[in-house]
Amino acid sequence: MMPLLAIVRVRRAGGGFTFWAPLFLLWLVLVPVAVLAAPFFLVVCLTRGLSPVGAAAGVLGVLCALAGSQIGVDAPDASVRIRLI
């Protein structure tokens, strides 16, 4: 399943914030864009000798596999954590 939420947590000496980014809204916005880009995608795949279905499945697989990723950086004056759910 695609990540539906990104949690960005920033801590600084003077404070910090936590931002919950609803990625599902981003996917909803990107669906019409993907439909519009599909013919170009098809042409590029065919000219490069790639299977359009395989390429689309591969990209979709990477997007779906992003859920669960975490990146955290703790520095002396700030810390940033990004988590995809």
Partner 1 sequence: MSEDRRKILELLAEQMITAAEAERLLSALERSASAAPPRSEATAGRPKYLRVQVDAQDDQHGGAPVKVNIKVPMQLLRAGVRLSALIPAPAREQVSAAMRERGVPFDLGQLRPENLEEVLEQLNDLTVDVDQDRAKVRVFCE
Q: Which residues bind partner 1 (CB under 8 A)?
A: 48-51, 54-55, 57-59, 61-62, 64-77
Q: Which is nearer to partner 1, 5 or 66 (CB)?
A: 66
**In whole angstroms, how close is the CB of 65 to partner 1 at the nearest point?**
4
Q: Find, among 52, 24, 30, 25, the residue nearest to 39 by Cα.
A: 52
Cα–Cα dist 79/74, whole Å: 4
User: Which two three-digit tokens encode residue 31?
Assistant: 């669906």
**Could you give the count of Cα atoms lying within 13 Å of 57 in the half-sphere of its Cβ?**
5
Cβ nearer to partner 1, comparing 33 with 48: 48
CB of 5 to partner 1, least distance (A): 15
